[in-house]
Chains A and B, each alone.
Chain A
Amino acid sequence: MLVDDLRGMFYIALKDLRAYYFKPPNISWGILFPFAFVLAFAIRNPGETLELVPGLLGLTILFGTSSMEAIVIVFERRIGSLERLMLAPIGLPALLAGKLLGGMTFGLTVTAVVLIIALAAFGIGGVNWLLLLLALLFSAAAFSALGAFVSVAVREVFEAQTLANFIRFPMMFLGGVFVPLAAMPPGLQAVARLLPLTYSVEALRAALDGRPLAHSLLDLAFLAGFACVLFGLAVRVMRNKQD
């Protein structure tokens, strides 16, 4: 049973990557979109460009993992092909985990490209690579689960895009990407603490600053918590809709 589930997850992710994710428009959009935002901010605040790198990575992984994933599940449900996966001898959690794995792989790939460009531009001295890897993985899991939750909660592709943007855009401005959390009013700081991007950017910043892993354990725990809760909700909503 576990073998069936693991096999199903792997091949669903592989199929999604081939069929939907690794297409030139997705790759270019996944990389250009965060750069465009950060560039606009950097032009206005030229002295703070280096400070923006963790946020740039956080944005890339947020949009890279969640954008297509939120659409893919709704799209497949509309054309009926999601039903093929539901008929396969795998559990519903494994099916959704396969979808998550596809989103995570794509998000991590485009983030790796952005990371290489950022490190080439700003240098790689003092990076805590283990923390960086864990921060990227946990962020990808949390954002991918967010994409899955959005996709099972709606019926139409446009609804998925609307809901995803409704969640992501405020997160972008409150998650410490452009404005450090400490500079925000206390009320907004409290809101920011409810957003996974906040913990992602904090952990990425700590990794790039070379801080020890122990410094960001809480951030990683929150990201893992967001991933588990959002994934659990997605499975539950999908199961309820199935019946």
Chain B
Amino acid sequence: MNEVIQAGGLTKTYPAGKARPPLRAVDGIDFAVRPGEVFGFLGPNGAGKTTTIRMLTGLTRPTSGSARIMGFDLAAEVTQIKKRIGVVPEASNLYDELTALDNLVFSMQLYGVPRRERRPRAEALLDRFRLGEKRDAPFAKLSRGMKRALTVAAALAHRPPLVFLDEPTTGLDVMSARSLRQMIAGLRDEGVTIFLTTHYLEEAERLCDRIAVIVRGRIVALDTVEALKAEAEEKTIVEVTLANPDGSQEKKRSECDDGVETAIQRALADAEGRRVLAVTTLRPSLEDVFVRLTGLSAEAMLAEKGGKGGGNAGG
């Protein structure tokens, strides 16, 4: 199979600064991204996700290792690669002073889209991303969700077969995040290969065909969502709902490898005399897999990101 991305031993070490030692941000990672898939790249802050994207998109040179993207060597043919990729960075970074339409046209000018195609294509993108009424509005005047949508549209303006999305829904309200996820799913349906980093595990679970988990610069797991979850199913997870004396409820989770009975006994041991309202056995979620691999809870991950809104992956 012709992989869209084939990375081997990709490493990035930042040299020592005034008050910090050298930092190996990415440590010899190997992975392949297949044509037409949504490839999720998950990990806590500082794990090496953005550095990996920066290397693969030619923004920074790897310290060692190699990568081929759509058959082109990253070290020797970066311009060819840049022609064929679209990148949506973590922050929406179009030009405040230009209108929505002009931002798209400028993107196409940079990528050599023929003059006669620019305007119709820009209009079509604006309509597709529900920004038709804002075509003449300066980027600075758009809402956060609209800015994000326009940034995605700009990355697609030259019709790249591979798109990198770095935390696309971070900071968006629930509706904007949902709308953007639908757009991402639409791209996948069109055969665009997507490399997605996200802090939202439900989002990754919903959108990604395969997921790599990166921790401290190393990939610690890489598989389909179902396969990753199947590994975690060896554990039994029991959730007990307890009634507190003040009338409130509390949920306690217990995991163990020794079957349901032991898990329930452990959960009940935490009841401390409180009334048990419900006992539920749970299938492991991607969050459980993530917690096991990274040692970091999903809440902690969102908290360190300051994430809001987009965390609700409904839709």
Contact = CB atoms under 8 A, between A and B. Distances in A.
A15 B106 contact: yes
Given A20-B97, A80-B93, A89-B82, A7 B59 contact: no
Given A86-B59, A88-B111, A80 B91 contact: yes
B106 A79 contact: no
A89 B102 CA distance: 19
Given A1-B79, A15-B106, A84 B94 contact: yes
Interface size class of B (residues with CB under 8 A): 20 to 34
A87 B60 CA distance: 10
Interface string A76-111: 000111011111111100000000000000000000
Contact of B60 (A8, A18, A80, A243): A243
B57 A87 contact: yes
B110 interface: yes
A7 B112 contact: yes
A242 B94 contact: no
A8 B98 CA distance: 17
A83 B12 CA distance: 19
B110 A88 contact: yes
B94 A81 contact: yes
Given A19-B97, A79-B93, A242 B59 contact: yes
A8 B106 CA distance: 10
Nearest to A20: B97
Contacts of A7: 109-110, 112
B128 interface: no
Contacts of A129: none
Contacts of B82: 87-89
B89 interface: yes
A89 B69 CA distance: 14
A48 interface: no
A51 interface: no
Contact of B98 (A19, A80, A83): A19
A11 interface: yes
Contacts of B59: 83, 86-87, 242
A19 B111 CA distance: 19
B87 interface: yes
Tell which of A81, A85, A89, A90 has the most Cβ of chain B within 10 Å: A89
A93 to B, nearest CB: 13
A209 interface: no
Interface in B100-137: 102, 106-107, 109-112
Nearest to B107: A84
Interface in B11-67: 57-61
Contacts of A19: 95, 97-98
A212 to B, nearest CB: 42
Contact of A242 (B60, B96, B109, B154): B60
Nearest to B164: A87
A11 B79 contact: no
B153 to A, nearest CB: 13
B305 interface: no
A188 B28 CA distance: 56
A85 B82 CA distance: 11
A8 B87 CA distance: 18
A118 to B, nearest CB: 32
Contacts of B89: 80, 83
Contacts of B97: 18-20
A243 B154 CA distance: 25
Interface in A1-18: 1, 3-4, 7-8, 11-12, 15, 18
A1 B80 CA distance: 9
Interface of B: 57-61, 79-80, 82-83, 85, 87, 89, 91, 93-98, 102, 106-107, 109-112, 154
Across chains A and B, which 3 residue pairs bring their CB atoms closest together, nearest first? A80-B93, A19-B97, A89-B82
Interface of A: 1, 3-4, 7-8, 11-12, 15, 18-20, 79-81, 83-91, 242-243
22 contacts: A1-B79, A4-B112, A7-B110, A7-B112, A11-B110, A15-B95, A15-B98, A15-B106, A18-B102, A79-B91, A79-B93, A79-B96, A80-B91, A83-B89, A84-B94, A84-B110, A86-B58, A87-B82, A87-B85, A89-B110, A90-B110, A242-B59
